[in-house]
Amino acid sequence: MKRIDHHIQLLHEQYLVSLQKEKRFVRFIQLLIFFIFFLLWEIASKQQWIDPLLFSSPSNIWELFIAKLADGSLLSHIGVTLFETLLGFFLGTLLGTMLAAALWWFPRLSKVADPYLVVLNAMPKVALGPILIVALGPGFTSIIAMGAIISIIITTIVVYTTFKGVDTNYIKVLKTFGANRWQCFIEAVLPASFPTIISTLKVNVGLSWVGVIVGEFLVSKQGLGYMIIYGFQVFNFTLVLLSLLLIAAFATVMYQVVSYMEKKLIKNR
Amino acid sequence: MINVGENQMNFLVIDHVSHTYFTRQSAVTALENISFMIQEGEFVSFLGPSGCGKTTLLSIIAALIKPTEGTVLLEGSKIDSMNPSVGYMLQQDYLFPWKTIEENISLGLKIMGIDTNEAKQKALNLLSEIGLKGVEKYYPHQLSGGMRQRAALVRTLATNPKILLLDEPFSALDYQTKLKLEELVWKTLKDYHKTALLVTHDIGEAIAMSDRIFLFAARPGKLVHTFIIPEELRSLSPLAARQHPRFSELFQSIWKELDQLETD
C-alpha cells in the first residue's frame, strides 16, 4: 500500500514539474517574440530597410520617452488621458447598467425603447464627437462623454439581456417570501448577472480608449491622443509611436486589472 | 367538539378554483373547478399525469398567480402575496450560489424583515438538527445534491410557514438520497406539526408520505379521485410504510386508476 502511495506521489510531482516546464516554455517564447520584434525594428530602421522618418526606431522612441519624462510634459499627458479613460469607462458601465435596470423595471419602457436602442447601437458614436464638443465645450468634459457614450448602449443591451435571462425560479423563491420588485432585483437579478457585467467591463475598457483618443484628436489640447495628432501634424512619428506604445501598455494594464477583479468576484460560482 | 373539528378541516379551503392561461394562439385551461379542504397537520399529495395543473395549483396557493376564478382561504382569510404564510420548495434547491448556506437559509427572514438574531439562530439550529452542522460558511456548490435540498428545506421552514408546498422536491435526486430525504422531511414536518402539500409523479412516494392522495386528470386539470391512506400506513415513517403489505395493494389500485386516466 505504502509503496503504491509513494509511487503515485512521485507521478504527481512529475506531472506538476511538466506543467511548470510548459508554462515556462510559453513565457520564454512570448518574451523572445517581444525582443525579436524590437530588435528587428531597430536593425531595419538603422539599415534603412524601412523609412526611419515614418517608422522611427525603438532607440529614438526611448530617447524621446526619457526626454519627455524629464521635462514633465509626458506625465501630465498620461495623467490626463488615464483620468479621462477611467472616468469614461466607469460612467459608461454605470449608466449602461442603470439604463438596463430601468428597462427591466419597466417592461413597457423596454418595448417602446427597443427600435431606438437598435438605431443607437448601430450608429458610430464617435460621429457624435463634434456635437459633444460644441455642446460641452472643448475640454475634458466632452472627452469623458465620448469615452462613456461609446460603451453605454452596448452595455445596456448586453446587461438587459442578462437581467431578462436570470432563472425565474430564483425570483419565484423570493416571491414565495413576499419579496417586492426591488428585493427581487437586488437579491437575485443583479448578483446573478454579475459575471456578465464584469465581462462587459472587459469590452468597455477597449471601447473607452477608442472614445477618449478620438475625443483628444478632436479637442487637441492635451493627452496621448493629442500627442498623436500633434506628432502627425509636425511629422514627428517618433512622438506618434511613443504615444501608441504607451496606450497599448496602459490599456493592457487596465484589462488585466478587470480580469483580476473578475477572478476575485466570481470565484464562488 | 364538532366546531373544533370543522375549524381544523377548514385550515386550507380551495373553493371552485379554475385557471386559464392565455397565449396569442390559444386559451389553455389548466385547472377546472377544483374544490377541497385540508386540515391542520395533514400531509396531502397531488398525483397525476403531466399537464394536470398540479404546479399551477401550488402557485395559486402560494399567491404567485391569481386564479381566473374561485378563492383560496387559509385559516379563514384570503391569502396575500405580500404577507406569505406558505413555504414553497421547488424541484431543484435553487440555493443562491453567491450566498453562503447561512445567508441562504436566512434569506426568507431577510425578505420578510424578521431577520432577528433569534430567528437566525433558530434557522441555524434547524440546520444542525437536519444533519448539516458545520456547513454554515460553505457555498452551495460545495455541497452534494441531497445536502443542498436539505438546506433548501431549512430555508423554507425558517420563516415558520403555516403550510408547506413541495413541488417534486425529490425528483432531481438519486434514489437512495431520495428515500433518505423523504424520511427526513416527513419526520421534520411531523415534529413541527406542519401541514404539507406534495406534488409528485411517484406513486410510492405519495403513499409512503401522505395522509390523503388527490388524483388529478389532465387537460383540463381536474380532481378525479381521493385516496385515504389507511391508518396503519399513515402512522409509519415512509421507509417503514414501503415495507408494509398494504403498501403494494394500494400501489396497484392507484396505478390502475392512473393508467386508466392516461389511456382515456
Residue pair A93/A159 in contact by the 8 Å Cβ criterion: no
Residues of A in contact with B96 (CB under 8 A): 170, 187-188, 191
Would the CA dihedral through A68, A69, A70, A71 be positive or negative?
Answer: positive
What per-residue confidence (pLDDT) applies to A268? 58
Q: Give pLDDT tens digits for B168-205.
A: 888 877 888 888 888 888 888 888 888 899 998 888 88
- Does residue A88 sit in the same domain as residue A43? no
Q: Both A137 and A231 in a single domain?
A: yes
Looking at the fold, whether A98 and A231 belong to one and the same domain comes out as: yes
Round to the nearest angstrom and report the end-to-end CA distance of chain B: 44
Q: Return the CATH number at A75.
A: 1.10.3720.10
Q: Any idea which of A13-27, A122-136, A150-164, B50-64 has the lowest mean pLDDT?
A: B50-64
Query: In CATH, what is the architecture of B2-85+194-263?
Result: 3-Layer(aba) Sandwich (3.40)
Alpha-carbon distances of A104 from A46, A83, A156, B81, rounded to whole Å: 60, 31, 10, 21
Give the domain range for residue A196: 59-265
For residue range A207-233, list pLDDT tens digits in order: 899 999 999 888 878 889 999 999 999
Instruction: Give the one of B84, B94, B98 whose C-beta lies nearest to A169's C-beta.
Output: B94
Of the candidates B194, B184, B193, B233, the residue with the CA atom closest to the CA atom of residue B213: B233
Residues A37 and A137 occupy one common structural domain = no
Secondary structure of residue B144 in the 3-state scheme:
coil
How many other C-beta atoms can be found within 10 angstroms of the C-beta atom of residue B199?
23
| ipTM field | 0.83
Report cis status (omega within 30 of 0) of the bond before B220: yes
Look up the pTM and report it. 0.80
pLDDT band at A269 (very low <50, low <70, confident <90, very high): low
Q: Same domain for A12 and A67?
A: no
pLDDT score recorded for residue A1: 55
Decide if B183 contacts B239 (C-beta within 8 A).
yes
Q: How far is A179 from chain B (nearest CA, A)?
A: 6
Together in a domain, A24 and A85: no
Same domain, yes or no: A144 and A250:
yes
Task: Identify the pLDDT of residue B21.
Answer: 87
Contact A74, A230 (CB under 8 A): no
Mean pLDDT estimate for chain B = 83
- CA nearest to B70, candidates B40, B32, B39: B32
Decide if A177 and B107 are in contact by the 8 Å CB cutoff.
yes
> Band of the pLDDT at B9, cuts 50, 70, 90?
low
Q: Walk across the sheet containing B12-22 and list its strands.
A: B27-38, B12-22, B69-74, B77-78
Q: What is the DSSP letter of A223?
A: S
Q: In the numeric block, which cell numbers belong to residue A193? A: 448577472
pLDDT at B65: 86
Lowest mean pLDDT among A238-242, B128-132, B140-144: B128-132
**Domain layout of chain B by residue ranges:** 2-85+194-263
Q: Which residues contact B80 (CB under 8 A, 6 or more apart)?
A: B63
A36 with A74, same domain: the answer is no
What mean pLDDT is reported for chain A?
Answer: 89
- Chain A residues near residue B90 by CB distance under 8 angstroms: 169, 172-173
CB B94 to CB A173 under 8 A? Answer: yes
Please give the tally of structural domains in chain A: 2
A262: chain B residues, CB-CB within 8 Å: none
How far B16 CA sits from the closest chain A CA (Å)? 23
**A31 pLDDT band (50/70/90 cuts)?**
very high
Hey, are the CB atoms on B111 and A179 less than 8 Å from each other?
yes
- B62 and A269: CB-CB below 8 Å? no
A267 — pLDDT class (breaks 50, 70, 90): low
- Please tell me the distance from the alpha carbon of residue B239 to that of residue A261, in angstroms, as a whole number: 49
| CB of A196 less than 8 A from some CB of B | no
Residue identified by cell 515556462 is A24
Task: Summarize pLDDT for B63-77 with one digit per residue, the tens.
Answer: 888 888 888 888 877
